[in-house]
Amino acid sequence: MTTSVQPSRIREILAYRTIDLITIATLGVAFGVVFWGWGKLYEGISTLAIFGFPPSAGLLGGPWLLAGVVGGLIIRKPGAALATELVAASVEGLMPGNQWGMSVLASGFLQGLGAELIIAVFLYKRFGVVVAVLAGILAGSIEAVYEWQAYYPDWDLPYRLAHLGFFALSGAVVAGLGGWALTRALARAGVLDSFGPGREAAHEV
């Protein structure tokens, strides 16, 4: 039994089509606007009594991880998850009133990297719900560690571990399950006919 990837498959994975690049840009812009809007809601929601335990704010982090997961699930090529998340972060950073400025690029890179690494582990061959959830978890975990240094340097270890757990949970549910469900919905609507999810949805009919 061999796990090697055939040369033709490698070429297929690496070769970006024009539609791939356009879709990365389109998704990135759309999610960037969503990120900006969620940032505005976050300012108020994170102050609610239910989030009186500061690390629990990690539960609100999942929406910022969606771009990388969805981009990776749709485009299915090396760098797609990272690129989609970075484009989204760039758009968010440029939107008026963004409270974090262009520092969101660091978060976008790390979040996209987390999703990218999981998809790469599966050699860009598996894109089911398990892969999506794992991508969301790693993206959230890496972002949590970054935020300890950037925003919460005074937190002790229990606070940091709690924050990591909350962020990973949000990544699993919102970005993982949510991103997978969104990709499936778009595929069934016929929006992704030129991509793997669209072809898979057609076979299910």
Tokens of 56: 């629990």
pLDDT of residue 48: 85
pLDDT of residue 197: 95
Position 2 pLDDT exceeds 60 = no
With contact defined as beta carbons under 8 Å apart, do 25 and 14 qualify? no
Q: What is the pTM of this model?
A: 0.91
With contact defined as beta carbons under 8 Å apart, do 187 and 198 qualify? yes
pLDDT tens digits, one per residue of 35-76: 999 999 998 898 886 788 999 999 999 999 999 999 999 999
pLDDT of residue 1: 44
pLDDT tens digits, one per residue of 183-204: 999 999 999 999 999 999 888 7
Structural domains in the chain, sorted by start = 14-195 (1.10.1760)
pLDDT of residue 4: 54
pLDDT of residue 31: 98
Q: In angstroms, what CA-CA distances link 27 with 37, 48, 102, 160?
A: 15, 31, 19, 32
DSSP states of the chain: ---PPPHHHHHHHH---HHHHHHHHHHHHHHHHHHHHHHHHHHHHTTSGGG-SGGGGGGG-GGGGHHHHHHHHHH-STTHHHHHHHHHHHHHHHSTT-TTGGGHHHHHHHHHHHHHHHHHHTTT---SHHHHHHHHHHHHHHHHHHHHHHT-TT--HHHHHHHHHHHHHHIIIIIIIHHHHHHHHHHHTTTTTTSHHHHHHHHH-
What is the average pLDDT score of the chain? 93
